[in-house]
Chain A
Amino acid sequence: MNSELSAKFTFWCNRLIALIVVALIFFFPSLMNWFEEVRPLGEQKITAIIIGFYLCVPVVLYALWCIDRLVTNVLKKDIFVEQNVRYIRRLRWCCAGVSLICVPIAFFYMPLIFMVVIMAFLALVISLVKNVMAAAVEIREENEFTI
């Protein structure tokens, strides 16, 4: 019961984040202009951050879609299936992708180096989860096909 609540919470949070990301597609430049007024960074840095954001958006939306599918499967009790391993693997590549995209941007805006490190580390953690999941799928299949 508790795990189902947690899965439902993740499901709705994920959709909310997707909505925020979609909204940011339209408002991100205005947001950065406002940020520039509050804390001046310079034209070059602002442009780099905006370009970085728009490069990351497709990857982030794809990652959110993968999470959505994953949580939907969890809610349907289809947990240890090959499809979920594929989603987790794609999620790992999305994290690695965002990390790579942020590398050149970090040259213009140094604090983004944290994003590079965090996303690279997250990719490693997700890779580990993927390996555990793949092993679990194998064990389940072995168990299911033991007559």
Chain B
Amino acid sequence: MAIVVNLDVMLAKRKMTSQELANRVGMTQANLSILKTGKARAVRMSTMDAICRELDCQPGDLFEYVKEE
């Protein structure tokens, strides 16, 4: 997919583990892993809101559009 998820980068910047974020956001580690690996088909606004709140970032910091060759 042309949408790249930069959640790992944001987690590293905030020095936070996936487990910690999952706990704070109230989602399972498995679901967070689906999001991180780019397997997710859609992201709920409420999930996005919670992630951005906990990571103190903008949705644009988490996702990036990369043109496919």
Does any Cβ of A come within 8 Å of B41's Cβ?
Answer: yes
Does any Cβ of A come within 8 Å of B39's Cβ?
Answer: yes
A interface residues with partner B (beta carbon < 8 Å): 141-142, 145-147
Q: Which of B8-16, B27-35, B53-61 contacts A (4 or more CB under 8 A)?
A: B27-35
Q: When chains A and B are docked, how far (Å) is the Cα of A145 from the Cα of B38? A: 10
B interface residues with partner A (beta carbon < 8 Å): 27, 31-32, 34-35, 39-44, 47
Contact of B27 among A141, A142, A145, A147 (CB under 8 A): A147
Q: When chains A and B are docked, how far (Å) is the Cα of A145 from the Cα of B32? A: 11
> Shortest 6 CB-CB distances between A and B: which pairs?
A145-B41, A146-B42, A147-B35, A147-B40, A147-B31, A142-B41
If A145-B39, A146-B41, A146-B43 are given as contacts, then 9 extra A-B residue pairs at C-beta distance below 8 Å, sorted by A number, are A145-B34, A145-B41, A145-B42, A146-B40, A147-B27, A147-B32, A147-B34, A147-B44, A147-B47
Q: When chains A and B are docked, how far (Å) is the Cα of A141 from the Cα of B43? A: 13
Q: 15 pairs across A/B with beta carbons < 8 Å? A: A141-B41, A145-B39, A145-B40, A145-B41, A146-B40, A146-B42, A146-B43, A146-B44, A147-B27, A147-B31, A147-B32, A147-B35, A147-B40, A147-B42, A147-B43
Q: B47's closest neighbor in chain A, by CB?
A: A147
Quote the shortest CB–CB distance from B37 to chain A (angstroms).
11
Q: When chains A and B are docked, how far (Å) is the Cα of A7 from the Cα of B44? A: 36
Quote the shortest CB–CB distance from B53 to chain A (angstroms).
15
Q: When chains A and B are docked, how far (Å) is the Cα of A147 from the Cα of B21? A: 14
Q: When chains A and B are docked, how far (Å) is the Cα of A127 from the Cα of B35? A: 35
Which residues does chain B contribute within 8 Å of A147, judged by CB atoms? 27, 31-32, 34-35, 40, 42-44, 47
